Structure 1
Amino acid sequence: MASTTPHQEELDPRDPRSLLVHARDARAAEEAHGREVFIAAARWALAHPAADEWDSACVPGTERELAIAGQGAPLVAEFCIDEFAAAIGLSTDAGHYYIGDALELAARLPRCWKRVEAGEVPVWRARKIAQATRLLSPEAVELVDQRLASFAHSIGGRGIEQTVKAAEAEADPELLKARREAADDKRHITIYSRHVDFHGRVDIEGALDLADALDLEDALAAVAAQLKDLGCTESLDARRAMALGELARREASLTFDAAGEVEPPARSKRTLQLYVHISHAPGQNPFGSVARVENTRTAIDLDTLRSWCTDPDTQLVVRPVLDMAEHRSGESYEIPTLLREQVILRDVTCVFPHCTRPARSADIDHIVPWDEGGSTSTDNLAALCRHHHRVKTHHGWTYTSTSGPPGSYRWTSPHGQQYLRTPTGTTTISRPLTTTA
């Protein structure tokens, strides 16, 4: 008989009270299950202590010890993160932080952890405490644990921050002073290249020294004026934005001709690299009226793409057109350039379960190793980031390509969990794990 959520039998969509009771009980069940997963994460970390450093030192790429919580917490075996993270549907990076938060609480904040185990502190609030204490010394984190434990169930972010700062000031006054001095420098330039709108625009923010800011202001004004003199009809704001791109491609310095007139500086051409995918439906664009930009994993409209291609200051590089359905191969272990490019474009990211690291910066792995008879070919190569390449080589993970869409792989973990990774994501396809009484 299928299980039901609390009060599912009595749920009446016309009865507001019934809906509230159902929502309340369902949320309580959700929190209880989340707490069980979080507790399991801490126990998993404690069950996988760091391996012998001698093996890691002698065999390059093998498992290393990993510090995922604060000073004094046990070190864990590096590759244990991958299997637990995959089992609960997280990437390795997200799993690193999730398990680290659980270990931080279990090992360094025992009073707060006891309340988490008892169901008195929600996991999301406990994780905020763990994230705030990870850089504290053992003496400071002990003070935080003493002072927060009794009201950890209700404290907010500001309260956590104030408690941590007070404990740090009391336990580590010199360290706090050094961090305060380091934090005084807030200079930065942040380009949100992963958040591109449909017209190919991105946001930028930053903080500069006043002298640098004034120099940049003068340079933007000068180049914006030059663009206007060259016939640009965009608004001043738009020309200032364009000027920043110009500054990235050449020096914004004024030169003079023999008559003493201002001579526009030479403009470096920008390079635009396009990837053309062949559609099985002749004359049709498989992406509709948009193009995919690999660098940012976003889509832009074709009119924007055309404007980039027809811009006289854009250097258009035409690369060989790759038919993604074509089978390619090489005669040696080394991977030919076009075959490597085909694998990168096909896989897009590292093909380990839930991993999203770009394929372009990944290793190209022989699924069946070359020295075991594996070929250097389209159907025996896949993109693996360096970490997951090491996991596959040294920790018992195996995978095969499947007969599904190109870029589909079946993975099996050391404990027998199986996952299907396709271009649309990762799915758990078997759960052979069993427990004993």
Structure 2
Amino acid sequence: MASTTNQDLRDPRSLLVLARDARMVADDAERSVFIAAAQWALAHPAADEWDSACVPGTERTLAIAGQGAPLVAEFCIDEFAAAIGLSSDAGHYYVGDALELAARLPRCWRRVEAGEVAVWRARKIAQATRLLSPEAVALVDQRLASFAHSIGGRGIEQTVRAAEAEADPEVLRARREAADDKRHVTIYSRHVDFHGRVDIEGALDLADALDLEDALAAVAAQLKDLGCTESLDARRAMALGELARRDHALTFESAGMGEPVRSKRTLHLYVHISHAPGQNPFGTAARVENTRTALDLDTLRSWCTDPDTQLVVRPVLDMAEQRSSESYEIPTLLREQVILRDVTCVFPHCTRPARSADIDHIVPWDEGGSTSTDNLAALCRHHHRIKTHHGWTYEPLEPGAGPPGSYRWTSPHGQHYLRTPTGTTTA
């Protein structure tokens, strides 16, 4: 790769050469990681399922690639994922894609190993074939291998469907009959913008979509009649909220001076505001726990003062207080304190919410560990099992060595990671 110190970066040609060479280096590095992922999976075959059946919570066999690919030991994924900076879930898919190619698409895999197919493109092929039978995936491998370096998503999809129709006509027919399962309405409540807005997408039957269109148009018109001055698009968005709070359009029952009665909403938000230096990464904004986003205070204030909103207020906890219990069971306020401090599962790179996680005794109760603020941490069920049964250990940092919610982890192979409220780094 050409050195930037010997190039005039104001020269367009030099910039193109730099970008091209950097891309080649990055592709080579990514290919090495991807090949290592496949070898890691092959080096950790599934153990006898008898042990996991007899001891609940222990390591299970894991199918991370399609039919006919080797099964792997469940907990091996987490250590590889942590080593390359991925969450366990992302690592599951990454290693699974590598194993799918190595075990079921040998022609495409050889081209990846030779540097002829970019990893990102090979992964698209692997993700499209994972549910195929061995017969169908062999056809895909045969037909795609020669132009896997240039095929796009549509070409992959068409090749996969054609191979499936040829090798598994009954499966394809069943999938067609089950197409209704693709209907959905997705509300991206964890992707809230600074003003409290979220995106929605969906796929509906045409008849349902037309009914929804009519309902939105009707309620948007009623909002305008009620004096709403927002744009039509904004009123249609508001109409969805009105429909969500009742199973019919706005009613016009009179109350008092003849004003229309609108439906009330109940707002459940876990909001945290801190003025301590370094304790609030969102500055003077609020952190909304259940959406894991920042929200400007004016928006929050408008919701809380809205007469049509029923507000649920929860007690304020002193996060600096040391709480404890004489029993193994964790009291409600102590559990809440741990959840608020850790925010997510504290395993390296994990982002699963602490509120849905287990609360773990760092030093086990039966080994003398206390039920107290400094000996409890949030671990999702999967990572709780790994800590208990697979040799991962962790400890909180000493007071002053890092912010509350900071832990030093050691993997079974001796790799060290530092998890803090701002993320995970190699220790």
| Alpha-carbon distance change, 141 to 405 in structure 1, aligned in 2, over 3 angstroms | same
SS in 1 for 2:181: coil
Match of 2:404 in 1: 406
SS in 1 for 2:182: coil
| Alpha-carbon distance change, 435 to 76 in structure 1, aligned in 2, over 3 angstroms | farther
Are the counterparts in 2 of residues 91 and 355 from structure 1 also a CA contact under 8 Å? yes
SS in 2 for 1:189: strand
Q: Shift in Å at residue 436 of structure 1?
A: 23
Per mean C-alpha deviation after superposition, the further-off stretch among 220-229 and 390-399 is: 220-229
Are the counterparts in 1 of residues 68 and 134 from structure 2 also a CA contact under 8 Å? yes
| Alpha-carbon distance change, 38 to 284 in structure 1, aligned in 2, over 3 angstroms | closer
Per mean C-alpha deviation after superposition, the further-off stretch among 222-231 and 96-105 is: 222-231
Are the counterparts in 1 of residues 62 and 72 from structure 2 also a CA contact under 8 Å? yes
Are the counterparts in 2 of residues 223 and 252 from structure 1 also a CA contact under 8 Å? no
Q: Shift in Å at residue 289 of structure 1?
A: 3.8
Q: What are the superposed Cα offsets for residues 224-283 of structure 1, whole Å, 9 maximum, x if unpaired?
A: 5665566655455434422322332233268798999xxxx9765433345465746599
Equivalences for 1:320-399 in 2 at 5 Å? 320-399=315-394
Partners of 2:122 and 2:283 in 1: CA distance: 46
Equivalences for 1:202-241 in 2 at 5 Å? 202-221=198-217, 223-224=219-220, 227=223, 232-241=228-237
SS in 1 for 2:255: coil
Partners of 1:258 and 1:112 in 2: CA distance: 70
| Alpha-carbon distance change, 214 to 280 in structure 1, aligned in 2, over 3 angstroms | closer
Per mean C-alpha deviation after superposition, the further-off stretch among 241-250 and 114-123 is: 241-250
SS in 1 for 2:64: coil
| Alpha-carbon distance change, 76 to 329 in structure 1, aligned in 2, over 3 angstroms | same
SS in 2 for 1:383: strand
Are the counterparts in 1 of residues 269 and 290 from structure 2 also a CA contact under 8 Å? no
Q: What are the superposed Cα offsets for residues 146-184 of structure 1, whole Å, 9 maximum, x if unpaired?
A: 222222222222222222222112111121122223226
Runs of 4+ in structure 1 deviating by more than 6 angstroms, as ranges, are 1-5, 253-260, 282-286, 434-437
Q: What are the superposed Cα offsets for residues 363-406 of structure 1, whole Å, 9 maximum, x if unpaired?
A: 1111111111111111111111110011111100000xxx3100
Partners of 1:123 and 1:307 in 2: CA distance: 48
Are the counterparts in 2 of residues 198 and 300 from structure 1 also a CA contact under 8 Å? yes
Partners of 1:404 and 1:436 in 2: CA distance: 15
Are the counterparts in 2 of residues 350 and 358 from structure 1 also a CA contact under 8 Å? yes
Per mean C-alpha deviation after superposition, the further-off stretch among 220-229 and 108-117 is: 220-229
Identical pairs, percent: 91
Partners of 1:292 and 1:435 in 2: CA distance: 23
What is the RMSD computed on CA atoms of the aligned residues? Answer: 4.0
* Structure 2, unpaired ranges of 5+: 395-400
State the number of aligned residues: 416
Are the counterparts in 1 of residues 254 and 261 from structure 2 also a CA contact under 8 Å? no
Are the counterparts in 2 of residues 277 and 323 from structure 1 also a CA contact under 8 Å? no
Are the counterparts in 2 of residues 277 and 321 from structure 1 also a CA contact under 8 Å? no
| Alpha-carbon distance change, 287 to 116 in structure 1, aligned in 2, over 3 angstroms | closer
SS in 1 for 2:408: strand
* Structure 1, unpaired ranges of 5+: 6-11, 426-433
Query: What TM-score does the superposition give when structure 2 sets the normalisation length?
Result: 0.87
Are the counterparts in 1 of residues 63 and 71 from structure 2 also a CA contact under 8 Å? yes
